[in-house]
Amino acid sequence: MRKHYYILLALLLSTAVSAQDRYWVFFTDKDGVQFDPYTFFDGKAIERRIKHGLPLDDVSDYPLNTSYVQTVTNGVIIITGQSRWFNAVACEATEAQVAWLETLPFVRAVRGISGVQSQLAVADSVEQVSSKWTLLLAQTKRLGGDLFRAQDIDGKGVRIAIFDGGFPAVDLADEFKHLRDENRIVKTWDFVKEKEFVYAYNTHGTSVLSCMAGIHKGVPMGLATGAEYLLARVEKGSVRPLEENWVEAIEWADQHGVDIINSSMGYTTRNYFIEEMDGKTSLVARATNRAVRKGILFVNAAGNLGDGGWKIMITPADADSVLTVGGINPWTGFHNTFSSYGPTWDKRMKPNVCAFGDVVIRSKKGTSFAEGTSFASPMVAGFAACVLQHDSTLKAMELFKTIEQAADLYPYFDYAHGYGVPHARNVLNVRQAADTTFDLITKSGERYIKIRDNAFCTDSVTNWQEYVEQDGWENIHEVEKVGRGLLENLMIEEKVHQKMPCHLFYHIENSKGYLDKYFVVKVNSKEVLILSEVELEKGSTLRVHYNGFTNTYHF
Amino acid sequence: MKQYSALIGLMLWATIGWSQTILMEEDVNEDTLVANWGPNRANHMYGITGVGFVASETEGAGGDIKYGNSSQFIFGYVYKRKLAEWYSVGLGMGVTRTWYRLEQDSSKILPDTLLHDKERLVLDNFYGEVYNRLSFGKRGDYMGTYLDFGLYGSYKMGAKHTFRDEHHPPLPSGATTTKVTNKGMDYLNTLNHGIMVRFGGEFFALYGRYRLSDVFNNKGAHYPELPRLIIGLHINTPSY
């Protein structure tokens, strides 16, 4: 009988051993710590601080008090990371050790660390409805990449960090040869294994980098082929990645002078509740906001949970200063069903902008189709690099606003597209006020949009087969005989949308300032039913966008 | 007349409706409701399916069992009510089938002294349980790591005593094997109870059940008590 109790006891003890967890230990001060910004920071980090009017000698950049760190090190299982910005160390500790930590006079707080991270991408899963070349050319053209390139704008002089799970083949693949030849991968660090080598592990980072910097057989895969890069491996894929790696990587990127950080990852259900997606709760959201305050534009994928139970964006895409990027389907021209929606839990607009969620990427094995907001995000990060090269005086939040204002739905927005897809023409040229394309009319208690004759357009040719039939070609192979160039041009112009399609976008904003409902409507005639009177509450706002023109109606 | 007007109005509306196709419609307020059900919400329910093994000895001589072969199948549902981030209470119910495969040796007295090639007692129970749950670590809407401990009670739905003998040479009937199943044994208790422990995560849990009551009633009081402890592993099936 006693023997059996031992077995039960062993079972219970095993739980006690497993009860150890990871914690942030926040210190009260940095008293007595020395700091020299000129030896610590890269020259570009100092330049950025000067540009943003930030002090070089900021206590948040000071190292931690070593005696505090040593005391904690002696009393916990292991130290797993540290943060200057948060004046904290990360550690593994038992609950008893946590109780001891909380008694230390220099410990301000002890908080649990988020454990498991989700990585965003579903590579090689896109149905091959279009040629690889078509999509490859279109994915940059949709953002006006051709206009940037015509002015020799490719992110030159801009430094970008990528946080991901690994970068296999970046040291070998032809798509990145120009980066290697010109020594434009300026720093690498594996925060998981704490070493420089990052050219292995998860291929997701390679794919993300290709969407900014890759060149496939002479065709740019992203917009920032001329930028400099820092590659940080911050997670092991889906196996217990570490929030502290993320925070350390941000500080590392700041130290080495990056202008832009792209992260195509984030945290969701395992770490947080949906109501914690408020940009304030998660440490990574707070860390990214802090990075922006130090002059770095932080670009993050919205997430791929739009068609799942979670549905809204991941963190840190919920942070107010993060440029959150959603995905659109190149063939329908609007929201990818998988792309996570906004708003944040405190009802701020997210995503901010969007780009193709289906792209051609370079993975470990070669080029292929892939889908995910993971790839929309670097497309926009590349766009940001081009904008910054075009106007290097822009501060981080000015750059953020410029990108939003360059998007093709702007000033219209919704929680699936943000302001739409940014385009180079809206950066390089002064944006002209759009002609009025519709009027709001009221008839029998219902509200209609009447599209003006000269503005009405259709998107009837959205299917390649239809195009073939309409133009009298017998089949696609006949077109191919004419030549790849013609085929590509036709398909890019007609099948893969090069601008937001002529759909009617409208939303209803309530008196509290956030959207209650929003719609995308395919218009088949010039008169479109919007809604009845009863659906518009007093104080609400109706905002409608059609064919480049947005109008706002207050009720 | 009013009816016709309404009909005409409806037809007109329908005509207008056909001139547009809603590609996307989102109701933000519906998307941002806080759920009451979920792995780390106020309420959670999920299924379990698993296998356990007898992990202790028979109490007394004459009823030794074969370890490894003596096992349990468990299927049930678990409900959890969260009271604090680290503490919940819950209920569970389900069915178990437990096989006790009996060693055949000269000391055997359970349920008789006859020796067979194979012999087993099979108990089918419906069970209910109440438990406490301690959860570890910060987590979102995710079960995380937990330790459950509580009490269970079971009702005997059925039981059988089965043995098999092989015959060489065959019996006069030509049979080489005979298999006999006895049911309706009156030496078994209908109700049982015990303590349960469960330690697990989102997908798997290690469980232990220790029976405090005796399997045999007064009529079977001379039998050695069957092993009380079962340890096993179950998977957690889709949750609500």
- Nearest Cα residue to B123 out of B73, B87, B176: B73
Residue A146, both tokens: 């051709």
Pick the more confident residue, A59 or A7.
Answer: A59
A496 neighbors A135 (Cβ within 8 angstroms): yes
- What Rg, from alpha-carbon coordinates, does chain B have? 28
How many residues comprise chain A?
555
Handedness of CA A264, A295, A387, A551 (dihedral sign): positive
- Per-residue model confidence (pLDDT) at position B229: 97
Identify the pLDDT of residue B17.
45
pLDDT digits (tens, 9 = 90+) for A33-70: 999 999 999 999 999 999 999 999 999 999 999 999 99
Q: How confident is the model over B212-224, as a mean pLDDT?
A: 94
Surface-to-core class of residue A485, CB atoms within 10 Å of its CB (0-12 exposed, 13-18 middle, 19+ buried): exposed
Instruction: List the single range of A32-41, A301-310, B92-101 with lowest mean pLDDT.
Output: A301-310
Q: Is residue A3 over pLDDT 70?
A: no
In chain A, the residue whose alpha carbon lies closest to the alpha carbon of B229 is A4
Summarised one tens digit per residue, pLDDT across range B99-158 is 999 999 999 999 999 999 999 999 999 999 999 999 987 788 888 899 999 999 999 999
- Residue A483: pLDDT over 60: no
Closest CA to A245 of A189, A315, A173: A189
CB contacts of A518 in chain B (<8 Å) are 24-26, 28
DSSP string across A476-533: HHHHHHH-HHHHHHHHHHHTS-SS--SEEEEEEE-TTSSEEEEEEEEE-SSEEEEEEG
Is residue A245 a contact partner of residue A22, using CB atoms and an 8 Å limit?
A: no
Predicted pLDDT of residue B161: 96
Residues of chain B contacting A520 with CB distance shorter than 8 Å: 22-25
Omega before A330 within 30 of 0, i.e. cis: no
| C-alpha distances out from residue B66 to A8, A217, B121, B138, Å | 21, 68, 12, 43
First to last CA, chain A: 78
CA distance B23 to chain A (A): 5
What confidence score (pLDDT) does residue B36 get?
87
Output the average pLDDT for chain B.
89
CB A223 within 8 A of CB A145: yes
- The pTM of the full predicted model, rounded to 2 decimals, is 0.82
Our CA-based measurement puts residue A299 at a distance from the nearest CA of chain B, in whole angstroms, of 24
Express each pLDDT in A208-220 by its tens digit.
999 999 999 889 9
* Cβ proximity of B92 and B78 under 8 Å: yes
Q: Is the pLDDT of residue A123 over 50?
A: no
Whether A294 has a pLDDT exceeding 80, the answer reads yes
Is residue A157 pLDDT above 80, yes or no?
yes
- Chain A to chain B, count of Cβ pairs less than 8 Å apart? 132
| A487: pLDDT strictly greater than 80 | no
Tokens linked to A145: 């990449």
B45-77 per-position pLDDT tens digit: 999 999 999 999 999 999 999 999 999 999 999
Give the phi and the psi of residue A343 in degrees, each rounded to 5: -85, 180
CB contact under 8 A, A4 and B206: no
Are residues A193 and A166 in contact, defined by beta-carbon separation less than 8 angstroms?
A: no
pLDDT at B230: 97
For residue A521, give how far its alpha carbon lies from the nearest alpha carbon of chain B (Å).
Answer: 4
Q: What is the pLDDT of residues A163-180, one digit of tens each?
A: 999 999 999 999 999 999
Edge-to-edge strand ranges of the sheet holding A107-112: A78-83, A88-93, A21-27, A107-112
Chain B residues whose C-beta is within 8 A of a chain A C-beta are: 13, 16-29, 31-32, 34-35, 40, 55-57, 59, 136-142, 145, 147, 149, 195, 197, 199, 206, 208, 210, 228-229, 231
| Percentage of chain A lying above the pLDDT 90 cut | 62
Task: Give the tens place of pLDDT for each residue, A335-353.
Answer: 998 999 999 999 999 999 9
Angle at A414 between CA A408 and CA A419, to 5 degrees: 25
Mean pLDDT of A479-501: 51
Phi-psi region of A311 (alpha: psi -120 to 50; beta: other; left: phi over 0): left
Answer whether residue A295 shows pLDDT above 90. yes
8 A C-beta contact, residue A546 and residue A502: yes
